[in-house]
Amino acid sequence: MPEVLDPYEIAKIQLKKALDVLNYPDKESVFNRLSVPERILEVAIPVKMDDGTIKVFTGYRSQHNSARGPYKGGVRYHPNVSKHEVIALSMWMTWKCALADIPYGGGKGGVIVDPRKLSRRELEQLSRGYFRAISRIVGPDIDIPAPDVYTDPQIMAWFFDEYSKLYGYNAFGVVTAKPLELFGSLGRIYSTGYGTAVAAREAAKVAGINLQGATVAIQGYGNAGYYTAKFLHEWGAKIVAVSDTKGTIINRNGLDPDKVNEWKHNKSAKRSVIDYPDAEERKEGDSKYPLFMDVDIVIPAALENQITGENADNVKAKVISEAANGPTTPEADEILNKKGVIICPDFQANAGGVIVSYFEWVQNREGIIWTEEEVRRRLEEKIVNSFHAMYEAKQKYNVDWRTAAYIVAVDRVVKAMRLRGWL
């Protein structure tokens, strides 16, 4: 059995690795400061259930670092939420926001609950109760939550409303990814996939691949996978394979991403891509197949730990742009690096969501609404810049792509901390 590491331990190992390369004279002090969150709040959330009993749920909000701005990060509703997971995720948000160069630190929240077992009324009570309980430590200039696993724009609307009632004004800037009717941002729905596609496009340039006619295979066809496919297709690439939990479909002449998506959601008997009629070939039950195909670009857009030490040698693509969080294990990273594969790591390639969250906050604070074109143009610029900052660090320090991304992010945070006199 492979050892299952605590996410907080993994986050600390990654930080240490970046600090070892950066090699500041005071790197031990820097590690001591950055390896713990500035604040973590644990709250009890009583909810009157539909049967009249009162249940008490446990929630957290971890605020890792605020050197570059207010804390930013989602709230997760899941039975496996733990204090350590929330801390690790808040640390990753610090690096993600720093690499994207948006003026935020890192935060993350979570509630231990299976939301699918709650009625809508119970879910609303839980959401309002959680936000009331953390209301003293969040705010448009302090900490700005957003959705994560099993939380959505409706829950953000309840958070926003609860906070606004408590403080007596419409605090639109207190959460992001709100519904459009409550001044969420245009472009939010496809922001992650758009960013992943831009990252893949930049990496393809470095690899000498012409995007016109370049072949792409995608694991996972949800929000992130579909929109990545859609934009790469629009820019001339050929989507030759996509998969979901039921298996993989292949068409060497190229699949139409919109038609496949329409099929999965509205026509498929299995609510899957697998019975899509315009496929040349199917691999039923093989969801990983796209990862190892002979294509130019691979997009993991499903789960963590998909490319591992055991299978990384089978990767044939020259570029991997990670829409999913943590799809590549550290052993796999080493193997891929030796093979010369360009990897746009998760917190670089899937930062589109948090970048557009930042744009939403800017619009809300200014009381203006940007056009979709404006949002897209600015998002593209941010992803292009973070890719090139990572590429420069890779060349300067002669490290793998992921370490290069960490170096850029950690160095930005450390510089801000030094200027503020925190180190």
Binding window for ligand NAD (CB under 6 A); candidates: 93-101, 163-171, 253-261, 323-331 = 323-331
Walk across the sheet containing 319-321 and list its strands. 281-284, 247-250, 238-244, 215-219, 297-300, 319-321, 342-344
- Position 172 contacts ligand NAD (CB under 6 A): no
Active site residue 108: yes
CB-count burial class (<10 Å; 0-12, 13-18, 19+) for 163:
buried
**β-sheet bridge partners, residue 344:** 321
Tell me how far apart the alpha carbons of residues 139 and 132 are, in angstroms, rounded to a whole number.
Answer: 12
Binding window for ligand NAD (CB under 6 A); candidates: 16-24, 161-169, 242-250, 369-377 = 242-250
Binding window for ligand NAD (CB under 6 A); candidates: 8-16, 275-283, 301-309, 410-418 = 301-309
- Position 308 contacts ligand NAD (CB under 6 A): no
- Of 72, 108, 230, 238, the active-site residue reads 108
- Position 301 contacts ligand NAD (CB under 6 A): yes
Choose among 64, 65, 59, 63: nearest CA to 81.
59
CB of 307 to ligand NAD, least distance (A): 12
Do residues 196 and 352 lie in contact, with contact meaning Cβ atoms separated by under 8 Å?
yes
CB closer to ligand NAD, 129 vs 195: 195
- Position 303 contacts ligand NAD (CB under 6 A): yes
- Position 323 contacts ligand NAD (CB under 6 A): yes
CB closer to ligand NAD, 332 vs 414: 332
CB closer to ligand NAD, 125 vs 159: 159
CB closer to ligand NAD, 98 vs 323: 323
Structure tokens, 414: 């450390």
Site track for ligand NAD across 350-389, x = CB under 6 A:
x--x------------------------------------
- Position 317 contacts ligand NAD (CB under 6 A): no
Site track for ligand NAD across 190-229, x = CB under 6 A:
--x--------------------------xxxxxxx----
Those residues with Cβ within 8 angstroms of residue 143's Cβ, 6 or more apart along the chain or in another chain: 61, 63, 70, 71, 72, 107, 137
Site track for ligand NAD across 244-263, x = CB under 6 A:
xx------------------
Through-space distance between the first and last CA atoms of the chain, rounded to whole angstroms:
41
CB of 261 to ligand NAD, least distance (A): 10
Do residues 135 and 163 lie in contact, with contact meaning Cβ atoms separated by under 8 Å?
yes
Question: In the complex, which residues of this chain contact ligand NAD (CB under 6 A)?
Answer: 192, 219-225, 243-245, 287, 301-303, 323-325, 350, 353
Tell me the catalytic residues: 108
